[in-house]
Amino acid sequence: MPLPTADKRSAFKKLHESGCFIIPNPFDAGSARALQHLGFKALASTSAGFAWTIAKADNRVTIDDVCDHLTAVCAAVDIPVNADFEGGFAVEPEKVAINVARGVKTGVAGLSIEDSTGDAANPLFEHKLAVERIRAARKAIDADNSGVLLTGRCEAFLWGKKDLNLVIERLQAYSEAGADVLYSPGISTKEEITAVVKAVAPKPVNLLIGGASELTLQAVADLGVRRISVGGALARMAWTGVMKAAKEMAEQGTFTEFANGYPGGELNKMFK
């Protein structure tokens, strides 16, 4: 019998109370089930990884696409799922609230809202509007006492605005507006991470490690981070295998890369 959504949300909240955990990012129901099989305690969706599975670029999926995806992933596992809900698929706070309410109904245990506009010339929403969007998301989540955790994201570093003071100011404002978890993808040095953790304490911080890194789970835990996500990294690794084998066939007419494939029998066992 599937684990009730309320139990998943309760477990997710408890994970954020102490320690540090890895929250890997599956890109479909199958990869979600595989990660659960490996013992991870929670998962997070990836906007890019999911978009590639439906032949779209990152940030080009619709609210319908994402809600269908989240529903499928949540139904496939008995552990909590945090949604990469991009910018709420709207600009105006009231529309963000409507979409967040839809997202909550998919069964997620957590949901993030980011402050990027998608416009390189003006990459972040104006401060006041960005805060109002977080406040609207909080109100939508609380409307039915869902218990869903809200993550407030500042995207400044990803858009080349490497101003740590700006990031901290925004994360503190998002915390005051009701964000349960704070997240600034792109910060990477121990100094940056420590500064963010201290600035928003005692609220938990999510750290993105989306590429090869010398940081370890223990090292990140020692910095005070609560959880580590990997964004589209696992999806890119999956595409690496597909593209290497496909290019070999297309360019050489040979099939040697198949020797590196994961055993089909093991996959069947995992999905029984």
Q: Domain containing 205 — which CATH number?
A: 3.20.20.60
Counting the structural domains of the chain, the total is 1
Q: What is the pLDDT of residues 96-154, one digit of tens each?
A: 999 999 999 999 999 999 999 999 999 999 999 999 999 999 999 999 999 999 999 99
Residue 243 lies in a domain: no
Element (H, E) at 209: none
Q: What is the pLDDT of residues 198-217, one digit of tens each?
A: 999 999 999 999 999 999 99
Output b/e per residue, 96-122; b: 16+ Cβ within 10 A: bbbbbbbbbebbbbbbbbbbbbeeeee
Question: Average pLDDT of the chain?
Answer: 97
Distance CA 206, CA 16 (A): 10
Residue 132 lies in a domain: yes
Structural domain including 101 reads 5-231
Residue 180 lies in a domain: yes
Residue 19 lies in a domain: yes
Residue 270 lies in a domain: no
Residue 203 lies in a domain: yes
Q: What is the pTM of this model?
A: 0.96
Query: Does residue 238 surpass a pLDDT of 60?
Result: yes
Residue 177 lies in a domain: yes
Residue 204 lies in a domain: yes
